[in-house]
Amino acid sequence: MPIDSKIESIITAIASDGFAIIPDFLPPAQIAALADEARQLQVAGEMRRAVTGSSNATTADNKMRGDFIHWLEDANASRVQKSYLQTMDTLREQLNLHFYLGLFELESHFAIYPTGAIYRKHLDQFQDKQHRQISCILYLNHAWQAEDGGQLRFYLNGRHEETYLDIEPIGSTLVVFLSDQFWHEVLPAKRQRISLTGWFRTRE
Ligand code: OGA
Ligand code: MN
C-alpha cells in the first residue's frame, strides 16, 4: 500500500474511532536503520532515563516508567530521521486538513525499554498543558514474537471503559491516537523493546 493510502486510512480510523493501528507503515530498511540509530545512541550514552510529569514537576521514577529516551532534533536529524520526519509532516498536514487541529509541530523521541521495563497506565496530555493533541508510536523491533510480551495495553473509552486492546510492538506498526482520550500502558517484555514516539502539538 503506498504511503498516501496509509495516511488516508489513519484519517478514516481517527474520524470514526479516535485511534488507528497501521502495520507496515514504513519500509523494513528504514525501520532497521532507525533501530540501529537508537542502539548507537544508547552505546554513546545519549539515551537518558525518562521522567514523568510536566516540566515543572518531573521525577525520574522507574516504577512509573523504566525506559530511556533521546529527543530528535530537526537541526541535526540523520537521513533516515529526516525521511521519518517528512512522512510525519505529510500526516500532520492531512490531520490539519481533515480535523482543523492547527497542529504546528511534532516532538519525538526514541525510547528503549530494557528487559522487564514498564510504563504504567497514563494519558499523554499533562493536566496543566494541553498542547499535545495526537500521539504516534512507531515500533522498531525486528522479529517480535507474541511470547516476548511488551504489548501496548490500549484502553478503549466510552461505554467500553474497561476493555482494552493489547498491541504487539512489531517493527513498523504505527499507533496513532487522540492524546487526551486514551489511557495506555506498556507491559514488561522479555527482551529490549524500542519505539519512536511522537506528539503533534499546537502552539503553546
Ligand atoms: C509514551 C508511551 C508507549 C510505547 O511514551 O508516552 O506511551 O509503546 N509509549 O512505547
Ligand atoms: Mn504514552
Residue ranges per domain, the chain? Answer: 3-51+60-201
Q: Probe ligand 1: pick from 34, 67, 137, 170, max atoms within 8 Å of CB?
A: 137
Calpha distance 134→147 (Å, rounded)? 30
Instruction: Give 5 Cα–ligand 2 centroid separation in angstroms.
Output: 26
State the pLDDT at residue 154. Answer: 97
**Closest ligand (CA of 50):** 1
Q: Which fold has domain 3-51+60-201?
A: Jelly Rolls (2.60.120)
pLDDT digits (tens, 9 = 90+) for 132-145: 999 999 999 999 99
Beta bridge partners of 70: 110
Low-confidence ranges of the chain (pLDDT < 50): 55-57
Phi, psi angle pair for 8, to nearest 5°: -60, -40
State how far Cα 120 lies from the chain centre.
Answer: 15
The H or E element spanning position 132 is: strand 132-139
Output the CA–CA distances (angstroms, integers) from residue 134 to 16, 30, 51, 62, 140, in the order listed. 15, 23, 20, 25, 20
Output the CA–CA distances (angstroms, integers) from residue 133 to 27, 171, 186, in the order listed. 26, 24, 20
Instruction: Give 135 Cα–ligand 2 centroid separation in angstroms.
Output: 8
Dig out the grid coordinates for 107 from the structure: 516532538
pLDDT digits (tens, 9 = 90+) for 57-99: 455 566 899 999 999 999 999 999 999 999 999 999 999 999 9
Q: Probe ligand 1: pick from 183, 197, 199, 201, max atoms within 8 Å of CB?
A: 197
- Tell me the whole-structure pTM to 2 decimals: 0.93
State the pLDDT at residue 125. Answer: 85
